[in-house]
A and B are shown apart, each in its own frame.
Chain A
Amino acid sequence: MPEEVKKKRITDVGPHDYHDYLSPMIKKNYGKWAYHEILDPGTMVHVAENGDKLYTVRMGSPRLVSSGFVRDISDMADKYCGGYLRFTTRNNVEFLLENEKNIEPLKKDLEKLGYNVGGIGNVVANIVHTQGWVHCHTSASDASGVVKSVMDELYEYFVEDKLPSKVRIAFACCLNMCGSVASSDIAILGTHRKPPKINHERLVNLCEVPSTIAACPTNSIRPEMVGDKKSVRVNEETCVFCGSCYTVCPAMPIADAENDGLSIWVGGKVSNARTKPTFSKLVVPFIPNEPPRWDKAVQAVKTILEAYKKGAEPGERVIEWIERIGWSRFFKITGFEFTKYHVDDFRLAETSMNYSSHARF
């Protein structure tokens, strides 16, 4: 091949064809699975129409992983699964085994390497999360640290099936909500409590004023001359500290060490089973950042989980339980304070009011 052709840049090739990474058994039974069974919280079996059995061993992952982690799971896949493996939509790792006898040895090897097997069934599966202080400039908290702290505390719920239904926990470090915080059973969200500080000197050079104004959900930004410089003014009365202006305008930083922290939400879901998909709703408006362990936030999550475990009927997701007992009882049981911050005052807020004489005493 001539040197020139070899050097030609490769572009627009798209993702690799997944067929190359399907094991022979999966290829053979593609679209022909009959049923599956959960064997324990770390293992399930899928049975094909022809009787073929594919075993899945699921392993937790911190999502932020080293090349060493990638090589570890590759070694395990070679040893037990003909080299094949996959990741889940919640960032767990799945080993796909054809031989039932390999399940226990694989689990033992994983344990030896310090990995966690679980996450199947009525459990707390992995926490979908974001970048935090490791990589994002708009974060109000750290993702990896909060997630590690919560999962350490709830570890038993990852490795044992003892909840009424599955509980999806998600984390996002700011209101951009990169991920699934908006619709999870329990959600932890990074939250600011102070308006952005405006660098009037640099704003005109760094930012486009119209798009900065348009970024604000509460119309709190107005153009303004400061000295001889074009800049903006923020109406602090109406600002809700969302940080959207900072996303588009570097001269409006909003992070604040003392006033940033976390809020806790519950009762979202995306599945359509029984009830329709729904958003998560506010439980705790603010908990300060407490690195490295975020004890108060972790305890709040645990309080919700334990109240749900105690109160829900088998098969009920968190929102189904809460709607059955009512939000007033939910707040009573969990001991969280209901405040003015819980009453929606954004657009379409009135749809969340109680238009009835129904009340629980």
Chain B
Amino acid sequence: MGKKHETPLLDELKKGKWISFVREMERAAEKSERTEDLLGQVEESYRDKITHWKHGGMAGVRGYGAGMVGRFSEFPEKYPGVKECHSIRLNQTSGFFYNSDVLRKLADIADQHAGGLFNFHGSTGDIQILGLTQADAEDLFQKSAELGFDLGGSGSDLRTPSCCVGPARCEFANYDTLQICYDLTHAFQDELHRPSFNYKFKMKFSGCANDCVAAASRSDLAFIGTWQDNIKINQGEVKNYVKKFNVQKYVLDKCPTKCMWFEGENLVIDDSNCVKCMHCINEMPKALKSGDQKGLSILIGAKAPLVTGPRMGMMLIPFYDVHEDSKNDYEWLKGLISNMWEFWDEYGVSRERIGELIARVGLVTFLEGIGLEPTIDMVREPRSNPFIKFEDEEAGAE
């Protein structure tokens, strides 16, 4: 048995009502000396107010360039169990659905080959198993692969795609988020396992504009469900809501385009002015449903602040008919994505996210590069400066 460490600071975090990660680490440590040493090192960080992990470190499995994050302790003598303390990313299921059988098998793998600790889940979506050594990697990988769980992404590759619960349990879903997430992850296995991009590239799928997987802020390519025709109104249910709360104040007055009103007792929506924001549907789910012509919008370029500042996804494709395209194995979408990757490959520089590239070369250049026409939905408003680069042909030859 490894040495038991005194952890007076961490012990404080076993108190209180919220479930304690220290308790979880201690439970894992009962089975794994590695995790006992992890507790010791984290306690030392709490004392010193500084991380005690060395910079970076290589770790991985044969044939893949991604899926593991290498980590080495600053104090390997003091905490031999975390001399190597890598984490491995397993590609989660679409919508994070599991059963008890497979979870127990994953728990066994984590106990046998790592520190018995998980992140359920990493913020990109993967199941992360913490505390393995390079020597464990191959066995852990193959055992999870036998269960049907391949590794997820890391480094300059396609990161693990992720989606909201969608049609599996949400009446707001405008397309099958789980299926497209699954299909595209499979289609791009090579791009996911073998980094070949300038930098990371993330995809996320939300079934409607509520964006429960935060695609528009956490993925380079965000897929947000929407519809093209009219919101379906059940006038009887509207009347029930009117009896329950102030529909005028909390629904109609809050519509961002003020495109709803009452004519007598009937609710009327000017759908040509509706921006599919979901507010009215969220407030009166029994009365209002999205239309029948469902599909999704594609937004591009979201990223965290480094290096040139944070970006939200911006509108690239207002409406993509995913139902039609999925019948052809997403031929159109895959074409669009590979055009983007080619443009990024050609004009991007190392560690430049695609959103930064678009900001640098200009949206129109990017659109020309990937074969799309600019449309008015891509901008909040037209430009207000006159520095326009007219093309020679349009100005006429001399």
Contacts and interface: CB of A to CB of B under 8 A. Distances in A.
A22 B350 CA distance: 41
Output the residue of B17, B104, B160 with the most chain A CB within 10 A: B17
B78 interface: no
A279 B309 CA distance: 11
B52 A15 contact: no
A155 to B, nearest CB: 4
Interface string A3-40: 00000011111111110111000100011011110000
A295 to B, nearest CB: 11
A355 interface: no
A15 B217 contact: no
A138 B54 CA distance: 9
B182 A83 contact: no
B218 A180 contact: yes
Q: How many B residues are at the interface, by size bracket?
A: 35 or more
Interface in A265-281: 268, 270-275, 277-279
Interface in B1-57: 9-10, 12-13, 15-25, 27-28, 31, 38, 42, 45-56
A297 B40 CA distance: 25
Residue picked from A54, A246, A273, A348, most chain B C-beta under 10 Å: A273
Contact of A148 (B16, B93, B99, B160): B16
Interface in B170-186: 170-171, 173, 176, 178, 182, 185-186
Interface stretch (B259-267, B279-287, B335-343, B384-392): B279-287
Given A14-B189, A68-B27, A175 B171 contact: no
A116 B16 CA distance: 12
Interface of B: 9-10, 12-13, 15-25, 27-28, 31, 38, 42, 45-56, 62-64, 69, 71, 85, 87, 91-104, 106-108, 110-111, 116-121, 123, 130, 142, 145-150, 160, 162, 164-165, 167-171, 173, 176, 178, 182, 185-186, 189-190, 193, 209-218, 224, 250, 254-256, 275-279, 282-283, 285-286, 304-310, 312, 349-351
Contact of B186 (A14, A77, A182): A14
Q: Which 3 A-B pairs have the closest CB atoms?
A: A152-B16, A250-B55, A74-B100
Contact of B25 (A64, A242, A314): A64
A309 to B, nearest CB: 18
B182 A67 contact: no
For B16, B95, B120, B209, which residue has the most chain A Cβ atoms within 10 angstroms?
Answer: B120
Nearest to A73: B103
18 contacts: A61-B19, A64-B119, A66-B27, A67-B118, A77-B100, A83-B100, A85-B103, A86-B96, A87-B98, A87-B121, A137-B51, A137-B53, A175-B304, A215-B351, A273-B282, A274-B254, A277-B312, A347-B308
Place the interface of chain A in its size category: 35 or more
A217 B45 contact: no
Interface of A: 9-18, 20-22, 26, 30-31, 33-36, 46, 54, 56, 60-71, 73-75, 77-78, 83-89, 91, 93, 96, 114-116, 128, 130, 132-139, 142, 144-145, 147-149, 151-152, 155, 158, 175-180, 182-183, 211, 214-217, 242, 244, 246-248, 250, 253, 255-258, 260, 268, 270-275, 277-279, 289, 291-293, 314-315, 346-348
